[in-house]
Amino acid sequence: MLGHELIREYYACFNQRRFSDAAELFSEDAVVEHAATGQRLLGGAGYVRFAEMWIEAFPDAGISIVRVEQQGDTICEVDLLGTGTHLGVFDLGATGQFKPTGARARLPLREMLEIRVGRITYSSLRFDLHELMKQLRPNGSP
């Protein structure tokens, strides 16, 4: 399977907060998209920016790989389960900021990765924003 070890290492780096190690897995000109913010950043620095955004909001965040599906020669779609406690401001840019609620979230994620010559050249992370908002309601809110 294309880049299977690289993919496992990529998510292990996030879970272990080794963001600089994960950044090295990206090509310099990799496009890093975060669907919820609508932002497109470049390279490992773009990855680090998104990872830090998640950790600021969910300091105990973790990602588990659910399934990896290869799509052609260079593309993998990765289904993930993200978990974490909402203890910091979650800044989704133009979408808005979510103040800490203390809620524990479990969120299915999907990331599309393009891997060429042993490096991530494209990453696009998607999730159901409405589902996340529902989970982040302060306890007792409708």
How do residues 103-133 score in pLDDT, each as one tens digit?
999 999 999 999 999 999 999 999 998 898 8
pLDDT for residue 139: 56
pLDDT for residue 76: 95
| pLDDT band for position 7 (cuts 50, 70, 90) | very high
- pTM comes to 0.91
Dihedral sign computed on CA atoms, order 35, 57, 83, 15: positive
Please provide the CATH number assigned to the domain covering 4-135: 3.10.450.50
Domain boundaries, the chain: 4-135
pLDDT for residue 138: 63
